[in-house]
């Protein structure tokens, strides 16, 4: 496997006519067999001498700087490996790191390998061997001992383990130097505690377009909660702040067993947040990823969600982003609607989002949302999106798919998907009809209310129960004969 750095060096060699394409292919094959730096292969095959190779590498480094494709932890790993291999005295290395800081103060930047090349501090071969091996250096998560490539980690930055969700910190270059002077090496990260106001943040559990959700613990009571904070990239946006505040206000007024309840709203260190009940379970999206649901379970979930939506709609709130990932299923199997970030109060005369912009998630958008017709978005838009969720639970796929967002929008507006029974013949005609009615292009042809949808689904269950009772009765009479 060739690194992006090797391939970039190859491009530079082609551009400068140091190699032709066939020569480069041969060199890359040798490089992969021997697991060494491409420059060393070029040198040993006498395509370049050390002086010209040094020029090529400097050009490569300039391109890395221009494209901003340098790995965050490259200099950190180089420091570790150079000291481990005893290729440079720590005093000299500290000098080069200070030199880097001087470049930053002048509004420029230079990598450690560029400084070492310019000063010819280390033999070119040794330097390239070390540079080639940076990708193999790892740091262990203190929670689960899984290894992370150190070159991908920003020095001193906090990281959340994707396996066990432990928060830990990557070492800084100064910490590497201190450990080296003590005769040690940092092989395992240190667990970092994240504190946010009255809460300790235990793990990040979700991240959307605007906010980040953490599992947290209230320091005073030990209560486990979900804390949603406005994402760093949106904290200076007035529109994002208003939308975040709107979600908090909406959740505060909604108290229903099928809607996630809010516990507290506030601002900590100028960061808006709100605290919610922590739902022990998983998202409906994760459940569907394992395959289509049993028909009875899919119907039950839709009926419960209809209860939450009907309650919200009667209070004048339209969700506008109903989708499987915004429905959580708790450990008792109860579905709960979350993420009211796009919700709109129907009696509000203020529309924060610009006219003609799109609200929602493409695959779940109603035609009126896909057209950007904000004035036409209402309760039946949520019913349409819930129909998409129902279809996906029954079939395991979205009714409207496409290679691009534009194609998905086009399909929403012009294509009638096949009924769920096309994928699962055991689905009866009435379920097909109910699901497809939710997906009508014309909002007025959909169910008028979420309650009306729930009642239609209940009738299916009643008819099935009657049929099962009648079947059992007939079987009993035959046995008595």
Active-site amino acid positions = 321
Continuous H helices in 338-448: 367-370, 379-395, 405-414, 429-438
Q: Are 115 and 100 in contact (CB under 8 A)?
A: yes
DSSP letter assigned to residue 195: E
Distances (CA, A) of 97 to 39, 60, 173, 174, 443: 25, 21, 9, 9, 64
* Dihedral angle, C-alpha 291, 294, 300, 303, nearest 10 °: 60
Cα within 13 Å of Cα(360), Cβ side: 33
Q: Are 430 and 422 in contact (CB under 8 A)?
A: no
Continuous H helices in 19-85: 21-34, 38-44, 50-67, 74-84
Phi, psi of 424 (to 5 degrees): -135, 95
Distances (CA, A) of 151 to 64, 89, 264: 15, 22, 40
Residue whose C-alpha is closest to residue 313's, from 447, 439, 412: 447
- Using CA atoms, how far apart are residues 28 and 38, in angstroms rounded to an integer? 7
Distances (CA, A) of 441 to 255, 295, 335: 32, 25, 27
**Residues near 93 by beta carbon (within 8 Å), at least 6 away in sequence:** 79, 82, 83, 177
- Using CA atoms, how far apart are residues 476 and 314, in angstroms rounded to an integer? 47
């Amino acid at each position: 496997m060739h690194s992006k750095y090797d391939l970039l060096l190859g491009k530079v060699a082609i551009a400068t006519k140091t190699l032709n394409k066939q020569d480069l292919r041969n060199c890359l094959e040798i490089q992969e067999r021997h697991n060494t730096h491409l420059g060393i292969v070029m040198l040993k095959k006498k395509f370049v001498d050390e002086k010209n190779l040094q020029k090529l590498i400097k050009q490569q480094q300039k391109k890395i700087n221009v494209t901003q494709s340098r790995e965050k932890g490259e200099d950190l790993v180089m420091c570790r490996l150079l000291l481990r291999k005893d290729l440079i005295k720590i005093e000299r290395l500290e000098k080069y790191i200070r030199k880097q800081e001087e470049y930053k103060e002048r509004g420029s930047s230079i990598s450690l390998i560029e400084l070492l090349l310019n000063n010819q501090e280390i033999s070119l071969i040794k330097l390239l061997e070390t540079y080639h091996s940076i990708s193999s250096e790892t740091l262990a998560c203190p929670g689960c001992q899984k290894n992370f490539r150190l070159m991908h980690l920003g020095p001193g930055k906090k990281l959340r383990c994707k396996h066990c969700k432990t928060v830990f910190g990557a070492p800084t270059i100064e910490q590497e130097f201190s450990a080296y002077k003590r005769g040690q090496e940092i092989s395992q990260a240190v667990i970092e505690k994240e504190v946010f106001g009255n809460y300790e943040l235990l793990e990040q559990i979700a991240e959307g377009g605007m906010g980040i959700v953490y599992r947290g613990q209230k320091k005073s009571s030990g209560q486990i909660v979900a804390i949603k904070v406005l994402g760093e990239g949106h904290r200076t946006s007035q529109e994002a702040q208003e939308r975040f505040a709107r979600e908090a206000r909406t959740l505060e007024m909604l108290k229903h067993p099928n809607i996630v309840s809010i516990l507290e709203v506030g601002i900590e260190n100028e960061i808006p947040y709100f605290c919610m009940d922590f739902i022990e379970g998983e998202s409906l999206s994760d459940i569907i990823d394992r395959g289509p649901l049993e028909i009875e379970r899919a119907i039950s979930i839709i009926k419960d969600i209809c209860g939450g939506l009907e309650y919200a709609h009667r209070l004048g709130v339209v969700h506008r982003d109903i989708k499987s990932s915004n429905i959580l299923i708790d450990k008792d199997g109860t579905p709960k609607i979350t993420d009211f970030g796009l919700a709109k109060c129907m009696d509000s005369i203020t529309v924060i989002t610009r006219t003609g912009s799109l609200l929602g998630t493409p695959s779940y958008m109603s035609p009126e949302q896909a057209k950007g017709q904000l004035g036409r978005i209402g309760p039946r838009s949520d019913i349409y999106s819930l129909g998409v969720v129902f279809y996906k639970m029954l079939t395991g796929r979205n009714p409207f798919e496409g290679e691009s967002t534009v194609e998905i929008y086009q399909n929403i507006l012009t294509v009638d998907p096949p009924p769920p029974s096309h994928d699962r013949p055991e689905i009866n005609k009435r379920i097909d009809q109910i699901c497809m009615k939710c997906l009508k292009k014309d909002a007025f042809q959909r169910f008028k209310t979420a309650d009306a949808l729930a009642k239609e689904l209940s009738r299916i269950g009643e008819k099935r129960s009657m049929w099962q009772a009648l079947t059992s009765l007939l079987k009993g009479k035959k046995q008595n004969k």
